[in-house]
Amino acid sequence: VQVLESGGGLVQAGGSLRLSCTTSGLRFDDYSMGWFRQAPGKEREAISSISRDGDNTYYTDSVKGRFTIARDSAKGTLYLQMNSLKPEDTAIYYCAAHFTTSRQNIYATPAAFEHWGQGTQVTVSS
């Protein structure tokens, strides 16, 4: 199984980035997906997750109204649209997949996710 993030980079405060996550070796539709981030010296935190059917989503408070998670089953790809970026959003962003028989449940605990990407760096300058 491989999970691969892309789309990170350097952006000025107020700017936007869109992260993408592709998977191989698993059936994308069988997995609830999530985005996590880890800043230097901090624990990995869940920032957004989405159910298998895409109808249910979770956002941590700090990104609500700025970030949007979406999944495209036809492309087997997960997205995170990040707008109005702030310097405190600087972190390594990880995509993760959790196998579940529930099409509606969402998950926000890192320990629940079995498959992880290597991460993509997002740096927001002030």
Residues 24-51, mean pLDDT to the nearest whole number: 97
Q: What per-residue confidence (pLDDT) applies to 79?
A: 98
- DSSP for the chain reads -EEEEE--EEEETT--EEEEEEEESS-GGGEEEEEEEE-TTS--EEEEEE-TTS--EEE-GGGTTTEEEEEETTTTEEEEEE-S--GGG-EEEEEEEEE-S-SS-----GGG--EE---EEEEEE-
The percentage of residues in the chain with a pLDDT greater than 70, rounded to a whole number, is: 100
Residue 63 confidence class, pLDDT cut points 50, 70, 90:
very high
CA gap 12, 19 in Å, rounded? 16
- Give the sign of the dihedral formed by CA 53, CA 56, CA 60, CA 65: positive
Q: Diameter of the chain by CA atoms? A: 43
CA gap 78, 116 in Å, rounded? 13
Residue 121 confidence class, pLDDT cut points 50, 70, 90:
very high
Q: What per-residue confidence (pLDDT) applies to 118?
A: 97
Residues 20-41, mean pLDDT to the nearest whole number: 97
Cβ pair 71, 77 in contact under 8 A: yes
Residues 7-24, mean pLDDT to the nearest whole number: 98
Q: What per-residue confidence (pLDDT) applies to 27?
A: 97
pLDDT per position as a tens digit, 70-89 = 999 999 999 999 999 999 99
